[in-house]
């Protein structure tokens, strides 16, 4: 982890994303706010459908068709950034790495040409020769051996891990300030995952990148990230320093996620499965969005939508039970392996 992050380079302020339909408002992500500093890696976790990838797409300026930014703003290096694929103001300071590099790379183009194309797209005055030379340098930076030779090859000639390194090369070719990595290691085996994450760590240290890492893997973000953002049903439910969030999680959802991990299954003698599912668009409750699946559910949870409040400096949580005896009692029982 980066020990001394620098100034804030990414600011997400009350971002709300909705389905783009006439005369209809269906929120997908609601009032999400956070910041990432230079040299820092911030993890965003949650189940499928929690809104984490959509939030990441808004940050990168890649909201899909049919989805729009209803309110809020994204700033990179203090300047407003576009939040959809057609925005003219999309910021050159952000880049994105996706889960499956084979669907992002052009199978008919040599790898070096694809990196060079990314360089010329962001710096139009760059000659083809200079772009090709820089492409080889970038491939070397992401630790691809024999970069000049590999630059002349096609994506099918690379392993999955090497293709992901190529995607990272394309992403950093124009020297962005912010790198959004959406499940960048999910399709890779464990050994290759570690190599890719080690690379991201080195790049953020060498280049001062602010990294937003989207993942479903608590162990991964726990090992790599300085801070965590936990999302559920399109909103943040807890955020804080990684050690604080994982060592003593405050929101019942975060504790439930921990119980679903293989590490907990070994200690408890069986794998826990969180009942129910994340509400889909249009199913959002009036009260707490997690209440239907929560063991601490009360009438207050059904009637009151909790706000994201500071429990301690830098540690925010969205739950009416935080600090109350019933929450502390449940937390102690979980720590002891109780049901």
pLDDT greater than 70 at residue 83? no
208-252 per-position pLDDT tens digit? 999 999 998 898 999 999 999 999 999 999 999 999 999 899 999
In this model, does residue 336 exceed pLDDT 50? no
Q: Residue 252 falls within a domain, yes or no? A: yes
324 within some domain: yes
Q: Is the pLDDT of residue 1 over 90?
A: no
pTM to 2 decimals?
Answer: 0.89
Domain boundary among 129, 149, 171: 171
- Which positions ≥6 away from 339 have C-beta within 8 Å? 333
- The residue-averaged pLDDT of 280-295 equals 88
Q: What is the phi/psi pair of residue 70, to 5°?
A: -80, -40
159 located within any domain: yes
Residue 109 lies in a domain: yes
Q: What percent of the chain has pLDDT over 70?
A: 90
Question: Can you tell me the distance from the alpha carbon of 228 to that of 274, in angstroms, rounded to the nearest whole number?
Answer: 21
Does residue 76 have a pLDDT over 90?
Answer: yes
Give how many domains the chain has, as a whole number.
2
Tell whether 146 is covered by a domain: yes
* Any domain includes 11: no
Q: Is the pLDDT of residue 187 over 80?
A: no
**Residue of 261, 230, 267, 221 whose CA lies nearest to 41:** 221
What single-letter DSSP state applies at residue 214? E
Residue 268 is assigned to a structural domain of this protein: yes
41-45 and 210-214 strand pairing: parallel
Query: Would you tell me how many other CB atoms lie within 10 Å of the CB of residue 147?
Result: 20
Last residue in a domain, options 171, 187, 205: 171
Residue 28: pLDDT band with limits 50, 70, 90: very high
Among 142, 171, 200, residue at a domain's last position: 171
Domain around 315? 248-335
- Residue 329 has a CB neighbour count (10 Å cut-off) of 12
Q: Where are the extended beta strands (E) located within the chain?
A: 8-19, 27-37, 41-45, 67-76, 79-80, 94-97, 178-182, 210-214, 227-232, 235-241, 309-312, 315-317
For position 33, what pLDDT does the model report?
97
The answer as to whether 302 is a domain residue is yes
């Amino acid at each position: 982890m980066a020990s001394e992050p620098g100034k804030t380079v990414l600011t997400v302020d009350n971002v709300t994303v909705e389905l783009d339909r006439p005369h209809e408002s269906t929120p997908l992500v609601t009032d999400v706010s956070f910041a990432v500093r230079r040299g820092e890696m911030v993890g965003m976790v949650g189940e499928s459908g929690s809104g984490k990838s959509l939030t990441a797409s808004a940050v990168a300026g890649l909201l899909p068709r049919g989805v729009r930014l209803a309110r809020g703003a994204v700033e990179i290096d203090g300047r407003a950034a576009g939040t959809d694929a057609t925005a003219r103001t999309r910021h050159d300071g952000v880049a994105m790495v996706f889960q499956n590099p084979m669907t992002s790379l052009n199978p008919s183009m040599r790898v070096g040409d694809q990196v060079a194309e990314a360089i010329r797209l962001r710096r139009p005055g760059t000659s083809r020769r200079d772009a090709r030379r820089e492409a080889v340098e970038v491939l070397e930076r992401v630790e691809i051996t024999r970069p000049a030779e590999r630059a002349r090859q096609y994506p099918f000639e690379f392993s999955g891990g090497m293709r992901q390194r190529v995607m990272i090369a394309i992403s950093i070719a124009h020297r962005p300030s912010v790198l959004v990595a959406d499940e960048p290691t999910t399709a890779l085996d464990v050994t290759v995952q570690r190599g890719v994450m080690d690379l991201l760590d080195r790049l953020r240290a060498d280049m001062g990148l602010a990294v937003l890492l989207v993942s479903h893997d608590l162990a991964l973000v726990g090992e790599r990230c300085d801070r965590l953002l936990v999302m559920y049903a399109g909103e943040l439910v807890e955020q804080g320093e990684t050690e604080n969030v994982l060592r003593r999680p405050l929101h019942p959802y975060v504790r439930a996620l921990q119980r679903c991990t293989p590490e907990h299954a070994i200690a408890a003698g069986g794998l826990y499965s969180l009942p129910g599912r994340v509400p889909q668009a249009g199913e959002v409750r009036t009260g707490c969005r997690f209440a239907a699946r929560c063991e601490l559910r009360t009438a207050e949870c059904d009637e009151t939508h909790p706000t994201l409040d500071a429990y301690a400096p830098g540690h925010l949580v969205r739950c009416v039970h935080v600090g109350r005896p019933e929450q502390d009692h449940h937390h102690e029982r979980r720590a002891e392996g109780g049901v």
